Each structure stands twice: as C-alpha cells, then as structure tokens.
Chains A and B, each alone.
Chain A
Amino acid sequence: MSLSNVFDIAGSGMNAQSIRINTTASNIANAESASSSVDETYRARKPFFAVMNQEFLETDKNNNFLHVKEGIGAGVQVKGIMEKDAPLQARYQPDHPMANDDGYVYYPNVNVVEEMTDMISSSRGYQMNVEVLKTAKQMLQRTLTLGQ
C-alpha cells in the first residue's frame, strides 16, 4: 500500500531534520567553549543527508537473476555527522585561565550566522514533512470510508 509508505518517508524526513536541529543546538551551545589546545577544541558538527534507496532484484521466469532495479526511493537518511574543516579562532587572551604558554585561547569554528540559517532551514523542512504526513493521513482516512 503506497500511502502507508508516505508515512515512513515523511517520518524519515522528520528524523533527519531533527538530527540536524540537534547538531545546530550543540554547535550554538558550544560556540564559546574555550580550550588551550587545538586538538581539544570543539569543532562545528554537520550531518550529511543521503537518499535511502530501495532496490530489488529482478529475475526472469526461471528465477535467474537479471539485474538490480532501483525503486522510487524510501526517504532520507543521515549518512553521518562530520566536523567542519574551517580554521579555529585563536584569540590572544593572556589573562584567560585556559590560555596556553603563548597566551592564546582557541575558540570553536562555529559560525553562528550559518547555524541560525541552518536552524531555520531544518525547522521549515520538519514542518513540511509534518504537512505531508497530515495530508497522507487524511487521504488514508478517506479511503477507509469507501462504499459507505
């Protein structure tokens, strides 16, 4: 039943967008987490999305394998979360308790403006998937009244 697949698809979209919002929250919360060494400094985290593909094997009459066929897609998945490569901010603050021997403190490479736009984008994406879910629900509910 293809209408119930819509629930899975919209659900996967909501899941992916909520993971994105979570990383954004973590990035903004840690935007000012100071550190005295480059290795220990927090780096902005970004999830990356990929299509969830459904594939099925096509066989001939005698069950011999012909080829892999690509389905119409089954939503979106978070392939992983990576850290941003942008350089860290080194600030000269010799009085800071976390300052290193040269007087520098390292701050994360979080760009708060970018995080805010990301947050708006993911919240809109989440809303859109909710709307899709709502519409699919109405269609399915309608179908149950067939013949009445």
Chain B
Amino acid sequence: MGSINFNNALGIHDNALQVRAKRAEVLANNLANADTPGFKARDFNFKAMLEGEKSKRSLEMATTSAGHQRGRVSSNEDLLYRNPSQPSIDGNTVDTQIEQSIFTRNSMNYNSSFEFLSGKFKGLKGAIRGE
C-alpha cells in the first residue's frame, strides 16, 4: 500500500506551495504598510518554516482524539524582522524595492513548486490509467 500514497508521491512540493502562499501574504502585508510609521518589515525563515511544515510542527493543530477535526492556525513563531538597509526616520523598515523583488521571486518559486506538484499528479494519473 506504500507505492501510491499521496504523502510519498507528492514529496515536499505540496508543503512548499503552502509555505510560499503564506509568505506571499507576509510580503503583501509589508508592501501595504510601506508608508506606515513605525512598521517593521517581517519575513519567514523559509527553511525553518518548511521544516516545521514537513514535521507538522508549526501550522497543524494536534489531534489527540479520534473525533478531532484537523485544522491549521496561522502562527508567527517563525516570523522574523528584516534588517533594514535604508531605515527611514519614522521607524519604518520597509524597503519597497527589496520587498517587491522578494515578492516576485516568491511568486516565481510558487509557480515552480506548482509545476512540480502538477507533474506529480500527472504521473499519478498516468500510473492509474496504466498508459
């Protein structure tokens, strides 16, 4: 029963997709607050976040009884503050061009994770059809 199992078949890519989507939210929040006095830009430690996602530590709620529903919480445990390269006088540490480039790169990475995941599904489909 091990060969066709979603967890084995999909590998890291479904987790990566979720972390990328979460990261897009954080970066969008940085960009929306580009003019907010005192706002500190934040970002994930991507590696730690992905590790947590893989081991189901950070985002998945524990199910200790058979009747429990699985659920996810958004947490800020892995959320760090960015070191500003040009801090402004009002305490804001958002560098729009940096955030913009990271946001774009994140969305490219999202697309590549998506492409991998999509390929996995295509492979599974092919295996089921026996083509």
Contact = CB atoms under 8 A, between A and B. Distances in A.
Interface in A1-48: 1-3, 5-6, 9-10, 12-13, 16-17, 20, 48
Contacts of B103: 132, 135
Given A6-B24, A128-B96, 17 more contacts: A2-B74, A10-B28, A13-B33, A16-B32, A49-B33, A50-B36, A71-B74, A71-B76, A75-B33, A76-B33, A122-B35, A125-B35, A128-B31, A135-B107, A136-B24, A139-B21, A148-B118
A114 B129 CA distance: 67
B29 A75 contact: yes
B16 to A, nearest CB: 13
Interface residues of B, number: 36
Interface of B: 18, 21-22, 24-26, 28-29, 31-37, 39, 42, 64, 73-76, 79, 96, 100, 103-104, 107, 110-111, 114, 117-118, 121-122, 125
Nearest to B39: A51
A125 B21 contact: no
A142 B114 contact: yes
Nearest to B64: A61
A122 B73 CA distance: 34
Given A13-B32, A76-B32, A136-B24, A146 B114 contact: yes
